[in-house]
Amino acid sequence: MQHNDSVPVLDARRVADFLDNVVDADGAASRQSLDDVTADLARLGLPAGTAVVLALSNSVQMVRTYLSALLLGLVPLAVAPATPSARIRELASRLGAGAVIAGRLAPERYGATQIHVVGAAEAVLLSGATSYESGQVLIPTSGTSGMFSACLHRVDSLLRNAHRHAGAVGLTSDDVVLVNLPLYYSYAMVAQVLAAYVQGAALVVSGPPFTPSAYRKALGQHGITQSSITPTIARQLLARPEGLPNGLRALAVGGDQLTADQVAALLAARPGGELYITYGLTEAGPRVSTLAAHAEPARRHASVGRPLPGVRAYLRGPDDELLVESDTVLVRKIGGSTANRVLVADRTVATGDVFHIDDDGYLFFRGRLSDFVMVRGEKVSLTGIKQAAQAIPGVLRCVPIVRAEDDGAVLDVEISVADPGPDTERAVRRALNSVLLPGERPSRILIAAESGAFQK
């Protein structure tokens, strides 16, 4: 499948011009330039193709460091800044990263003795780096392959996907885009940051964590015209007595499923406003389809639209699993037990999602074949939870349990050990908290001997 796109490349002058129009929502002044950060990165002495882990909060600093790494031919991997050092160290080891960059670092936790300055951040160098190729990017994924895997992409294909998504949501150089989703998500980095770059739009960087009051303040202070949120955030805003903020021209929602009623409520809350429902996954590069809900009849409000230009989506097997063929899919998945199974054909990925496609080509999400679950608004991999628990000395088995409560799904785990004692639950929780993000941590941990009854 061929589709011609005229997409700007990543070059230093255009990146510098773009960064001149990127600001932090809180108005914090930046003391570094692109040249400063690029020079600091260059002084690390890492050869082109070296992976670097970026554990930086949402900020202009994060955007500048990420783009600087790309300009030097490094291979950035953005992770949550709250990621425990033990987990970063293991991830860096499995993916062969040559450095970790964060706001503050304890070098001894990474087997290092020296701190290097990179802009307003700190870096440590790691041994055993893997050589990737200049022009590649690593994006973390929380699929069935677990927490220590990533998708390897090409920068040019991410820019192409960003350009196609920008066209689908009507993003232009006149827009001001708010990024309040985590920049370590492909949705924020590609569909917002890189989309703003290729279109020449201005960018405002905020959060997380998300709060309705901070969101409203950012929209008003910065004249935001384009915003992308998750269904969880959409439901939070709909539940507020003041409803959705005014003044926003276009709102995009992606990352999970919205019901047709929720789409209708979003449309009713912003009469005349543009509403785009999108679907994608990191492996696909990442955006796959878009529905311009404001321009569609109510019968299509449960849909995620039709595929973007250059993307072919079709079903396979009795389960109707969606396959996506595009020139923006990943190069390969690295790490994890399913690393070689996501690419099922040339430029084609298996999504693990079940869909219906109507006669007009609109995609309707039906469910997931994978073990993704949404817990407190976060996508959690049950395989990743089991891997973390079963890596704890003495743990023989871990069974995640998802319970439904009034305010959403809750995750518990059943842990089998050879010889449980009075402090076993506390020790297991402490070990899990050292590697799991807050949204992944179980509510209850039930402990039992291998063949015994479970107990709190």
CATH of the domain at 53: 3.40.50.980
Query: What pLDDT does residue 299 have?
Result: 96
Q: Is 317 left (phi over 0), alpha (psi -120 to 50) or beta?
A: left
Mark whether 378 and 364 lie in a shared domain.
no
Q: Is a pLDDT exceeding 50 seen at residue 144?
A: no
Same domain for 392 and 256?
A: no
Query: Is 390 among the domain residues?
Result: yes
Q: Which residues contact 107 (CB under 8 A, 6 or more apart)?
A: 113, 114, 115, 124
What are the phi and psi torsion angles at 314 (to 5°)?
Answer: -150, 165
Neighbour order of strands in the sheet with 332-334: 116-118, 121-125, 97-102, 51-55, 75-78, 136-140, 150-154, 332-334
CATH number for the domain harbouring residue 171 = 3.40.50.12780
Sheet containing 408-417, strands listed edge to edge, beginning at the edge strand earlier in sequence: 395-405, 408-417, 444-449
pLDDT of residue 146: 60
Same domain, 95 and 243: no
Q: What is the pLDDT of residue 453?
A: 53
The verdict on residue 57 lying in a domain is yes
Q: Do 188 and 66 share a domain, yes or no?
A: no
Cis peptide before 208 (omega within 30 of 0): yes
Identify the domain containing residue 379 by its residue range.
Answer: 372-449
Dist CA 101 CA 103 (whole Å): 7
> Residue 419: its pLDDT value, please?
83
440 Cβ contact partners less than 8 Å away, ≥ 6 residues apart: 375, 378, 380, 384, 385, 411
What pLDDT is recorded for position 394?
84
Q: Which residues pair with 275 in a beta bridge?
A: 251
> What is the mean predicted confidence (pLDDT) over 13-23?
97
**Burial class of residue 446 in the structure, from the number of CB atoms within 10 Å of its CB (0-12 exposed, 13-18 middle, 19+ buried):** middle
Distance between CA 114 and CA 95 in Å, rounded?
Answer: 22
Using CA atoms, how far residue 99 sits from 46, 108, 220, 238, 439, in Å, is 8, 14, 39, 42, 26
Parallel/antiparallel/unpaired status of strands 343-345 and 348-357? antiparallel
Query: Does 423 share its domain with 439?
Result: yes
Distance CA 397, CA 106 (A): 33
pLDDT tens figures, 247-304? 899 999 998 778 898 899 999 999 999 999 999 999 999 999 999 999 999 999 999 9
pLDDT of residue 337: 56
* pLDDT tens sequence across 25-37: 998 877 789 999 9
Stronger pLDDT, 306 or 399, i.e. the higher one:
306
Query: For residue 30, with 0-12 CB atoms within 10 Å meaning exposed, 13-18 middle and 19 or more buried, which class applies?
Result: middle
In a domain, 143, yes or no: no
Question: Does the pLDDT value for residue 431 go beyond 90?
Answer: yes
Q: For residue 172, which amino acid is it? A: T
In a domain, 454, yes or no: no
SS3 156: helix
Q: Which of 12, 5, 22, 100 is nearest to 310 (CA)?
A: 5
pLDDT of residue 27: 85
Whether residues 358 and 219 share a domain: the answer is: yes
364 with 384, same domain: the answer is no
Q: Are residues 200 and 226 located together in one domain of the fold?
A: yes
- State the pLDDT at residue 143: 47
Q: Tell the burial category of 381 from Cβ atoms under 10 Å away from its Cβ (0-12, 13-18, 19+).
A: buried
Q: If you compute the radius of gyration of the chain from its CA atoms, what whole number of angstroms results?
A: 22
In a domain, 146, yes or no: no
4 in any annotated domain: no
pLDDT single digits (tens) 53-108: 999 999 999 999 999 999 999 999 999 999 999 999 999 999 999 999 999 999 99
277/356 same-domain check: yes
Instruction: Identify the domain boundary among 134, 165, 185.
Output: 134
Structure tokens at 424: 């076993």
- d(C-alpha 323, C-alpha 307), whole Å: 12
Where does a domain end: 321, 348, 368? Answer: 368
Of the two residues 330 and 232, the one the predictor is more confident about is 330
Residues 223 and 300 in one domain: yes
Same domain, 124 and 273: no
Q: Which residue has the higher pLDDT, 230 or 74?
A: 74
pLDDT, position 451:
55
Choose one of 299, 333, 368: the last residue of a domain: 368
pLDDT tens, residue by residue, 114-132: 999 999 999 999 998 999 9
pLDDT tens figures, 371-406: 678 887 787 888 789 888 988 988 888 999 998 887
Q: Is residue 26 part of a domain?
A: no
Q: Tell whether 380 and 337 lie within a shared domain.
A: no
Contact 348, 329 (CB under 8 A): yes
Q: Does some domain include residue 20? A: no
Angstrom distances, CA of residue 347 to CA of 332, 362, 379: 10, 21, 25
Q: What CATH number is given to the structural domain containing 388?
A: 3.30.300.30
Overall number of domains in the chain: 3
- Euclidean distance between CA atoms 169 and 174, whole angstroms: 13
